[in-house]
Amino acid sequence: MIKAIILMHPQSADYLSEINCFKSKKVKPIRISCGTTSHDLADLSESNDFFPTYASYNSALFETSMILTVWEHADNLIGDDNVAFLHTDIRPNFTAYKIWDKIDKHLKTDINSSIALTVSSIYKGLWQSWEVPNADFLNPHNDPYYLHCFDNGIFVWDIIKKYDPLLYEWAFDTKPKMIYGHQFACTRNTLDYLGYKLYSMISKMNLTDIGFWTPHVFERYISL
């Protein structure tokens, strides 16, 4: 079973409700309002239904706050099941029962496995397979945010290097294939490790390292 955590925000489009994206015995959706927001269709509220909660971090971390809140309450929320994170504002491009079967089979291959669930809409129609062609992957060296900076000369990779230098060195030495984003599926074991890594990083971050670029930092951190 995959517990699909649906991140809901009242200001976001809700394409997932237009069709039944979860018509499969392999998945159970759990809809949660992000941060301190409230959504009429949500099952739970990140700020009101969890304690402790990382909802107050949402304005800086965006979706990462939800991942941390789910990680904190994983025993009660997902148990030993696998987990997926999705936004309501993505446009589905799959047949529900087929894709969830594939994801379920992939996660069963390894206790530490994970899989990205979304890519940029610019790729729509470019391939028919459910896997991204090798030619379309990014790696740390050709990442636009490695080549370009935010205001005041802030590079997102410099922040990763500052707080996790070993992971930074590994990334640039091995050049892993990367799909950036907060939308993915993984095993419970992988969620436990990811949550620990995310918490370790945010608990050390200085205020000067937090800004519009912070969600982009964690997109890459999660991908690694």
**What is the crossing angle of helices 63-72 and 188-202, to 10°?**
120
- Domain assignment present for residue 119? The answer is yes
Using one digit for the tens of pLDDT, what is the confidence trace for 28-64? Answer: 999 999 888 888 888 999 999 999 999 988 888 888 9
- Domain assignment present for residue 174? The answer is no
- Domain assignment present for residue 120? The answer is yes
Using one digit for the tens of pLDDT, what is the confidence trace for 144-202? Answer: 888 888 877 889 999 999 999 999 999 999 988 877 678 899 999 999 999 999 999 99
- The model carries a pTM of 0.89
Give 134's pLDDT tier (boundaries 50, 70, 90).
low
Q: Which amino acid is at 166?
A: L
User: What is the share, in percent, of the chain residues with pLDDT greater than 90?
Assistant: 41
- Domain assignment present for residue 97? The answer is yes
φ/ψ region of 116 (left if φ > 0, alpha if ψ in -120 to 50, else beta) reads beta
Give 132's pLDDT tier (boundaries 50, 70, 90).
low
Name the domain count of the chain: 1
pLDDT of residue 122: 65
- Domain assignment present for residue 116? The answer is yes
Q: What is the mean pLDDT of the chain?
A: 86
pLDDT over 90 (residue 81): yes
CATH number at residue 77: 3.90.550.10
- Domain assignment present for residue 43? The answer is yes
pLDDT of residue 128: 64
- Return the CA Rg of the chain: 17
Give the residue among 87, 145, 98, 146 at the shortest CA–CA distance from 121: 87
- Domain assignment present for residue 13? The answer is yes
**Domain range for 34:** 2-124+179-223
- Domain assignment present for residue 138? The answer is no
pLDDT mean over 76-82: 95
